Structure 1
């Protein structure tokens, strides 16, 4: 129901009465999904609670694959997909007085060509056999990846609509022509360079200190005493200046913290992400830990352990297979089961991070910190520390068992040959989708965080990410190169010298930050002794935000909270009396009131 409501075609004519009814029904259904059920929690929080109970061992009978798929699709429907989020981001930026984004990451990736990975001796031998690039894959699959929706080869548990389309021509692997590009496109960089406000301030402070001998705080316009080339450099920086929505929100939080009375917080917009965050806040750390536990159990690199979480309880039969054919079928089903779990968790985490970041930066930072504390960074690296090319080429599907082939018409006889043949597609788009999501999550956790970037270096992520470049998918390569770019300054000159092909790919495909010397290693902000202080300062800001906005006292200390001095308000308060007092009330009244003579004159004088 959720997936059909999300993906059903309303029709081109919005004025058509049937289309109007479908749109109205979809909105009513979305509103019902965010309403409280069985208490005060919406359906999404109820499903999160089921995940935590399953991981704690109190409810091992839950079909966790279906729970995760439903949770992911409910969040996807109620909050919106990633393309909807990009449109909303521009509207929010305009409401804060910021210009709209000039580039669409998805459009750029559609026209980007995959880079050839750095070759080793073994790769040179294998390269003699022609390989098919992922560039020849479906165009619709890339669109589904962008929307964080279904992969083009839909899972039978995702929805029935994909199964109904499995016999159509769209499900065969077409080879669309490469998008037409201008003849000068190979000479142009794909992204417009950006400059942060902090980069401009650092440039002015350094040049003033060098040429004038003193600094001028909070002055970005005065260039007195500076040579003409510096004037031109400042002009270039200002032309590429980009102010993010996060910077505006952080600045506003600082103003509220410094002047809580003169600049109080305005009314918070009751958006779907705001309601979801508020409902998840009390148990959000436990939710993140549970999701990562399931991701670890479903990772291909994880070894089966007796004490690990049993995510196969709804897959394994009561009696183990006795024939080779049954063993092959069960093995494929188990691998497919794990792939769907990884897909659902990666899509869910990416959606939560992106929606929380747009709603408020500190909601995103709170979620990110708990993911980092739960070892999300080494877990993702462990996931990629495998033969990633074999993972994206895996064919853990049996078309003869898919819907509608399995229920309509004559059922084909299941043999070892049609089991081994697997899917007809050249690649498993489900696994490519999961890999891209995990890379994007890793980028969001580490971007502009020096302490977390150092974690990538400490866990030796560079060789793991370099091996993943063998998957020739432009979007996947883009996020791998981003992760390599942010840590090149820590890897040393010898590494950069030995990986010039990777450095060239970073220069060609990743956005440039003017003034960022990522290729040279002269980092002024990377001070190892400040890493712990960086995380602690961030945590203090996040806690102050959560306490002020979501605590009952409004974030004030008990001694400074306002006191209710209104007599009518105090007399109108409802006080819960204990059962013992209610049962013995008449006796207490007789002993404490009627049996004592009070001198009311003395009472009034006091």
Structure 2
């Protein structure tokens, strides 16, 4: 535990950089990063060693590992060796430049910083009561509007009556829940005064995007309608189509966005078409590539282990006898006797769980983002194993609580935290001071965790209709709508993105009853041209062949892994020796640096593997 704490402080302090750092310190930082990320004697990256510790802890081989410190160190090592979100943004720009793609439309981090939160929608009984109140207030408003002021001229009164009728018609045309009850119930003079103070954003937050697939789909429909036949993937031939279609295609191409993933997928398709040249691909040996190569065999176990820990640390989970014990390094040998000791232990346990959730959510998001930038099928491989390990229902279960209480939780005692407990004198703690806690509005640790989990859920479900249907089947819409009560723009943005994915599957009545949520989606989420998310007419909403979608994706992933990471890249075309005697009797030339890693290999592949002797005897 002490060694992990020392390592954590070293990594956290060394990775912090400033423009005022002297050259020698920059060189030392770079060397330390190289040692962590790149093996010296063909050893594994340090992050992979920590992943192995997590897997051993969850399998029961090493239950004594202080898992909170391991996960925190793993998160910081990934931040240091791979890079954080700001570094990711610059790496993405560089990658697009290398592939000949135009730069990003906008800085997503800066856009989210400038966004303002939306007011939460109404729920349940409150919604019905608001509808009734809205109808009564509109009738009262009509009476107020129709009263004539004796001190005004007839011309002024006539003009105001016309304006009142127009406002009333607009109100009656909209859905009751789409109107703000405070605005509806006000007389016209007050309404005018308040409208002048209301903030209206200048345009939408995000520039619209169009995929190549969207342009192809639009032209397929247009050709079938006006010409009677289609041309497949041709997006340039517009012969026989009317002028408005030409203008539409021109606008769509102006907003066309080609991602790095699109280029990588096309390159994989080209490599598959030419199997004799599969070994000629040049792969950059960066930190992300080496980590994926080291993790590849055990990625399913690592993802299951991380989700097990996340489940055990979730506030909605109940303690079970067969679950892993993540509190081994927190619970004292003797249980508390006094009320004050019990309160301190309770706060410390909750804080311990919150830190674990924060570290697991952060490192999972970092892995997904870096693997997606390095190669799309690395990202898809990790994503698919997260989905197979029930990551989607787990995150929904995490949010199926009073999320406002969780984000406003005060499970920390500032006077006992480092460095206050060392620098300052320890004040006298009482039960009243523990109940009061800090005066912060949010617990930023929990807010950070919630945003990370929402981003993971977005990455797992984006453009995957089978996984979006999982959100619908698990009834995620009311759970996510409750999260909109948190008035924080970034959290609301990722919640609304998840709701936008589902609207086409939810039915017309749901959309009609949730107009305020639909308006918030329109205001805050990026728009995709030709995406009729608000109407549900998309052919992708049809519920068949979703299982085939996952199977097809898995085939692509397996081809990619076999091609790039198998010893023989053209293994499909090589003869296979199935004779046991000749295979066992083969002589293998070991590499020169084998003696550096053979002990590690024995420990991981032989000694740490449980042997079921009874099963072995039965087979023999």
- What RMSD, in angstroms, separates the aligned Cα atoms of the two structures? 2.3
Displacement of 1:184: 9.6
| Residues 230 and 289 (structure 1), Cα distance of their counterparts in 2 relative to 1, 3 Å cut | same
Higher share of residues assigned helix: 2
Quote the residue 2:506 is aligned against: 491
Q: CA separation in 2, counterparts of 1:95 and 1:53?
A: 40
Q: 2:18 maps to which residue?
A: 10
Superposed displacement of residue 10, structure 1: 2.8
The structure-2 alpha-carbon separation of the partners of 1:30 and 1:50, relative to structure 1 and needing over 3 Å to count, comes to: same
Contact 2:472 2:506 in 1 (8 A): yes
Residue 326 of structure 1 aligns to a residue whose secondary structure is: helix
**Partner of residue 561, structure 2:** 546
**Pairing 1:32–2:46 present:** no
1:299 partnered with 2:307: no
Aligned to 1:260: 275
Q: Kindly report structure 1 stretches of 4+ aligned residues shifted beyond 4 Å.
A: 121-125, 262-265, 572-576
- The offset of 1:559, in angstroms, is 2.9
Gap change, CA 1:560 and 1:248, over 3 Å in 2: farther
Matches within 5 A, 1:520-535: 520-535=535-550
Q: Secondary structure at the match of 1:427?
A: coil
Which position in structure 2 is the counterpart of 1:206?
A: 221
Q: Distance in 2 between matches of 1:225 and 1:500?
A: 40
Deviation for aligned residue 1:42:
2.0
Q: Which residue of 1 aligns with 2:155?
A: none
- Equivalence for 2:483: 468
Map 1:243-258 → 2, pairs under 5 A: 243-258=258-273
**TM-score normalised by length of structure 2:** 0.79
Tell me the secondary structure at the aligned position of residue 339 of structure 1. helix
1:218-241 per-residue CA deviation (whole Å, 9 max, x = no partner) reads: 321221111111111111101111
The two structures have a TM-score, normalised by structure 1, of: 0.80
2:356 aligns to what? Answer: 341
Inter-partner Cα distance in structure 2 for 1:34 and 1:306: 38
Label 1:559 to 1:405 Cα distance change in 2 as closer, same or farther (>3 A). closer
Q: Describe the superposition over 1:411-431 as per-residue Cα deviations: whole angstroms up to 9, x where unpaired.
A: 211211222221232210000
Gaps of 5+ in 1: 13-17, 128-182, 562-571, 577-606
- Which stretch has the larger CA shift, 331-340 or 408-417? 408-417
The answer on 1:65 being equivalent to 2:68 is yes
Report the CA distance shift for 1:37/1:531 in structure 2 as closer, same or farther (over 3 A): same
Q: Distance in 1 between matches of 2:76 and 2:332?
A: 27
Secondary structure in 1 matching 2:421: coil
Counterpart CA distance in 1 for 2:121 and 2:424 is 49
Using the TM superposition, give the Cα deviation of residue 102 of structure 1 relative to its aligned residue in structure 2, in angstroms: 1.8
Q: CA deviation at 1:185?
A: 6.4
Is the Cα contact below 8 Å between 2:505 and 2:541 reproduced in 1? no
Corresponding position: 1:107 with 2:100: no
Q: Can you list the C-alpha shifts for 1:264-322, whole angstroms capped at 9, x where unaligned?
A: 64210111110110010010100000000000000000001111111000000000000
Question: In the superposition, relative to structure 1, how do residues 200 and 444 fare at CA in structure 2: closer, same or farther (>3 Å)?
Answer: same
Q: 1:573 & 1:427 partners in 2: Cα distance?
A: 60
Match of 1:366 among 350, 375, 381: 381
- Deviation track 1:350-405 (CA, whole Å, cap 9, x = no partner) reads 00000000000000000000000000000000000000000000000001211232
1:406 equivalent in structure 2: 421
The Cα offsets for residues 309-360 of structure 1, whole Å up to 9 and x where unpaired, read as: 1100000000000000000000000000000000000000000000000000
Match of 1:315 in 2: 330
The alignment covers a number of residue pairs equal to: 506
Q: 1:423 to 1:37 in 2, by over 3 A?
A: farther
- Between the aligned partners of 1:395 and 1:54, the Cα distance in structure 2 is 29
Q: How many angstroms apart in 1 are the aligned matches of 2:413 and 2:473?
A: 41
- Deviation (angstroms), 1:122: 7.3
Question: Larger deviation: 115-124 or 383-392?
Answer: 115-124
CA 1:494–1:122: 2 relative to 1, 3 Å? closer
